[in-house]
Amino acid sequence: MGAAFKETKLPADAPAGHKALAWVDDRFPLSKLWNDQWGKYYAPKNFNIWYLFGSLAMLILVLQIVTGIFLTMHYKPDASLAFGSVEYIMREVPWGWLVRYMHSTGASAFFIVVYLHMTRGLLYGSYRKPRELIWIFGFAIFLCLMAEAFFGYLLPWGQMSYWGAQVIVNLFGAIPIIGPDLSLWIRGDYVVSDATLNRFFAFHVIALPLVLLGLVAAHLIALHEVGSNNPDGIEVKDHIGPDGHPLDAIPSHPYYSTKDLFGVSMFLLIFSAVVFFAPEMGGYFLEYNNFIPADSMKTPPHIAPTWYFTPFYSVLRATTADFIFVLMAAIVLYVVFIWIKSRLSYKAKIATAVIALILLVGMLTLEAKFWGVVLFGSSVVIIGALPWLDHSPVRSIRYRPNWHMWLYVLFGMAFVALGYLGTQLPTPAYTMISQVCTLLYFSFFLLMPWWSAAGRFKPVPTRVTFHPH
């Protein structure tokens, strides 16, 4: 038989709210969930502004779900009605223009905040042991966001939506053997059509949001299981006080609740300014061609994805037939470097050489478009491998050699340059710059096992550095 039900007894004069909460807690662990996940979750006391972006990402996720629900009340997932329904939302639905602009601006804001959140993890080594799984869940969230944004990109059924989807789906056709059938399966037709719109709508509105919410929950549970990292990269759990809590940690509520509220206020101020005064952001947030109905008979002069895809899109465009030979030379040099510098076993080095040989043969036999797709995918996937690429003896950039910071700056400049070049027409000069930035991008990750452990590291303090203010 089950244990007997025990109800919390409160004084007769206890406030009604306390009685209601006690009644709920006896039947559902509401207070326990709050305390475990935030109220009494102890976080390092030396958090800085970089640690605002996690809570901002959660805010934007809620904002996108709420505005998306209101948009679906009026949107028609039909090729003949979709564009008109968006215009109806903008012109006829009360405050519809505001909801639509909040959703479109929110998409870009989401990626800005997520990119900054990932930058913080990169700078302070938040992906290092024991937080590898937190990074993997976060990376999966990033992939899910990219898919969610891609599926939502087609829904307005404007010129750039239509042709952007056409170009991206056709990329899968470059995969040998299964490519054409895979493209056909994704589209649901031989061209982007009503069938494509319907399945993209289903994924954007139902399937991916459910997956995204599950991944966010897993990300937070994993974070609160091992504890948060901090700018010093020190484990605060190594110094426990007499109360059983870390000496260098404080409860998230109210200390970080107030800081997060301030960050939310600043974000909403900037977000509102964009929504009300520059929702298109010069064509970067909403392309001007997307205010023209989709026309399968008229191709826009320059097709480019939204800005948050352009760094990876630039890698794709940079992979020309001539650039393949540069990549082949880079592979040979990398294998030679591994044989000279790596501490891998002899068998592992042989395996590396065999894989490189297969790649070299493939580059000579398969067209550049296929390898562009491979590099496009690899440029995203390689981010997830960071926990196993970084061999630094310390986590935080604070205690690494000063020249490490310049490598991070160079990597950041290459990434931003790729993002900008992806929005421009592919002139010969821009293509060459994209190719150089592509090499820098991959070199940052592939050479990380060596450069991350090189140089003179600064002594790491035993306790976090904190200056009260």
For the chain, the first-to-last Cα distance in angstroms comes to 56
What pLDDT, on a 0 to 100 scale, did the predictor assign at position 190? 87
What pLDDT, on a 0 to 100 scale, did the predictor assign at position 18? 84
**204-244: pLDDT as tens digits:** 999 999 999 999 999 999 999 999 999 999 999 988 989 88
**122-151: pLDDT as tens digits:** 999 999 999 999 999 999 999 999 999 999
User: Is 103 among the annotated ligand-binding positions?
Assistant: yes
Both structure tokens of 37: 């996940």
In this model, does residue 116 exceed pLDDT 70?
yes
* Residues 281 and 316 reside in one and the same domain: no
Q: How many domains does the chain have?
A: 2
Across residues 250-275, what is the average pLDDT? Answer: 95
* Residues 109 and 218 reside in one and the same domain: yes
- Chain mean pLDDT for the chain: 92
* Residues 284 and 309 reside in one and the same domain: no
Q: 133-155 in b/e burial notation, b at 16+ Cβ within 10 A?
A: bbbbbbbbbbebbbbbbbbbbbb
Across residues 247-273, what is the average pLDDT? Answer: 94
Determine, yes or no, domain membership for 6: no
Report the CATH number at residue 65: 1.20.810.10
User: Is 204 among the annotated ligand-binding positions?
Assistant: yes
Determine, yes or no, domain membership for 161: yes
Which residue has 């001007």 as its token pair? 288
What is the C-alpha to C-alpha distance for residues 298 and 320, in angstroms, rounded to an integer? 26
Determine, yes or no, domain membership for 270: yes
What pLDDT, on a 0 to 100 scale, did the predictor assign at position 230? 94
* Residues 324 and 284 reside in one and the same domain: no
Amino acid identity at 448: M
What pLDDT, on a 0 to 100 scale, did the predictor assign at position 94? 96
Both structure tokens of 250: 């404080």
**413-426: pLDDT as tens digits:** 999 999 999 999 88
**311-322: pLDDT as tens digits:** 999 999 999 999
What is the C-alpha to C-alpha distance for residues 30 and 42, in angstroms, rounded to an integer? 18
CA distances 143 to 72, 110, 139, 218, 464, Å, are 23, 13, 6, 15, 33
In this model, does residue 385 exceed pLDDT 70?
yes
Determine, yes or no, domain membership for 464: no
Find the helix or strand (DSSP H, E) in which 44 lies. Answer: strand 42-44
**20-37: pLDDT as tens digits:** 888 898 889 888 888 888
* Residues 264 and 327 reside in one and the same domain: no
* Residues 293 and 151 reside in one and the same domain: yes
User: Is 18 among the annotated ligand-binding positions?
Assistant: no
* Residues 58 and 150 reside in one and the same domain: yes
Determine, yes or no, domain membership for 467: no
Query: Which residues have CB under 8 Å from 420's CB, separation 6+?
Result: 310
* Residues 287 and 326 reside in one and the same domain: no
Determine, yes or no, domain membership for 155: yes
* Residues 370 and 440 reside in one and the same domain: yes
**Entry pTM:** 0.94
Boundary of a domain, candidates 297, 329, 363 = 297
Percentages of the chain per state (helix, strand, coil), in multiples of 5: 70, 0, 30
CA distances 381 to 143, 384, 418, 429, Å, are 9, 6, 17, 28
User: Is 117 among the annotated ligand-binding positions?
Assistant: yes
Query: Which residues have CB under 8 Å from 377's CB, separation 6+?
Result: none
Determine, yes or no, domain membership for 326: yes
* Residues 235 and 309 reside in one and the same domain: no
What pLDDT, on a 0 to 100 scale, did the predictor assign at position 305? 86
Backbone CA torsion sign across 351, 355, 358, 360: negative
Structural domain of 411: 304-453
Render 375-441 in DSSP notation, one character per residue. HHHHHHHGGGGHHHH---SSSSGGGS-HHHHHHHHHHHHHHHHHHHHTTS---HHHHHHHHHHHHHH
Determine, yes or no, domain membership for 17: no
What pLDDT, on a 0 to 100 scale, did the predictor assign at position 127? 96
* Residues 159 and 178 reside in one and the same domain: yes
* Residues 183 and 59 reside in one and the same domain: yes
Question: Nearest to residue 359, comparing CAs of 346, 376, 374?
Answer: 374
User: Is 467 among the annotated ligand-binding positions?
Assistant: no
